[in-house]
């Protein structure tokens, strides 16, 4: 399950960056059905595989608070991703940098199992 989850992490990042690039250079391609549906399928599988891993690892107890850190990072990534895809100019690029920072945070927390690794 971990391999599937990691594969979909990479696909999710690739699809996000790809949609940003398309929105900047080939806006009309974003209207294609596959381009609209694929990210939702990828992110749904990513989320479901993450939920399965949480239950497999018995990580729902209070001693595994890093899971909450990942969820908060995910909410930030989703929110900033929405800003990226619905804005132009400086706002888009600042939100894009923030979304990538959230993505990196989630990855570091996943590896270190420490939501406060930066302190």
Residues 65 and 45 in one domain: no
Residue 91 and residue 43 share a domain: no
pLDDT profile of the chain (119 residues), mean per 10: 92 94 87 90 91 81 80 92 92 96 95 88
Q: What is the reported pLDDT for 112?
A: 92
Residues 84 and 99 sit within 8 Å (Cβ to Cβ): yes
- State which residues form the domain around 15: 1-57
User: Do 1 and 49 contact (CB within 8 A), yes or no?
Assistant: yes
51 plus 81 within the same structural domain: no
Return the pLDDT at 27: 84
Write down the pLDDT at residue 62. 64
How many angstroms separate the CA atoms of 5 and 34, rounded? 21
Indicate if 51 and 20 belong to the same structural domain: yes
Same domain flag for 113 and 67: yes
CB atoms within 10 A of CB 77: 22
- Distance between CA 7 and CA 49 in Å, rounded? 10
């Amino acid at each position: 399950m971990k391999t599937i989850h990691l594969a979909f992490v990479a696909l999710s990042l690739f699809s996000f960056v790809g949609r940003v690039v398309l929105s900047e250079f080939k806006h009309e391609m974003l209207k294609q059905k596959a381009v609209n549906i694929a990210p939702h399928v990828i992110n749904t599988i990513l989320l479901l595989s993450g939920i399965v891993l949480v239950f497999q690892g018995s990580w729902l107890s209070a001693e595994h608070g890093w899971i909450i850190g990942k969820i908060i990072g995910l909410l930030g990534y989703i929110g900033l991703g929405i800003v990226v895809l619905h804005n132009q100019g400086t706002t888009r690029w600042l939100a894009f940098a923030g979304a990538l920072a959230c993505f990196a945070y989630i990855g570091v927390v996943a590896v270190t199992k420490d939501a406060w690794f930066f302190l």
